[in-house]
Amino acid sequence: MTASGNRGTKLSAAKREEDGAIPVSGILPTDRGAQLEWVFEILFGLGPLPKEDAIRTAAEALKNLGLAEYDDLDRGGAAWAAIERAIDAGLKQGRFDRPKRGDVRAVRPDPKDYTPDDWNLCLISALDREPTAREAALRFAAYWAASHMGLQFARLHPAGVILTGLDAALRAALEKGQIIDAGSGCVRKA
């Protein structure tokens, strides 16, 4: 490659950087907003992670999805840097928080923003194979969401958004066989 051709590539990369695009060879799409969405969705529900582990987890997932090249995944690589920038941008936007020093967590604090799949994840993650009273199972799921997904609430109201969403997820999980009715008002993970 000629010197002028190489310089043109550097200028194009610098121009893309100014436009909000990250010049990463393997992450698609290359704009920062889309990268933040990918990283958020990969890390959402995993709870607090040391920042380096969060970057590594996201990098591994992007590689497995075919969205990052192996060479870019090492510390100092282009994908690593793009993921770190996405997490930093997410911290500024409130998509991530720092529950303790050195850790990051993908968060969705408002229960109105939760989808049926989010409530299902909370429920399935909070339960085990031991029978649990239905009401306790819903409360365990809410507290799991608070610690792993940043869900915020002061109290759990019986007809509130959180318990209503979790109850709907419980009914759907019972229908799908993900959760089993253990009798006597108890449920357990299948």
Tell me the CATH number at 50.
1.10.10
- pLDDT more than 70, % of the chain: 82
Q: Are residues 102 and 117 in the same domain?
A: no
Q: Are residues 48 and 7 in the same domain?
A: yes
Q: Are residues 18 and 102 in the same domain?
A: yes
Q: Are residues 88 and 141 in the same domain?
A: no
- Choosing from 82, 106, 130, the residue where a domain stops is 106
- Choosing from 62, 90, 106, the residue where a domain stops is 106
pTM: 0.80
Q: With H, G, I as helix, E, B as strand and everything else as coil, classify residue 35.
A: helix
What's the domain range around 159? 111-189
> Chain-wide mean pLDDT for the chain?
85
Distance CA 42, CA 36 (A): 10
How many domains does one find in the chain? 2
Q: Are residues 126 and 140 in the same domain?
A: yes
- Mean local confidence (pLDDT), 79-99: 94
Decide which of 90 and 68 is more confident.
90
Cα radius of gyration rounded to whole Å, the chain: 21
The region, left, alpha or beta by phi > 0 then psi within -120 to 50, assigned to residue 121 is alpha
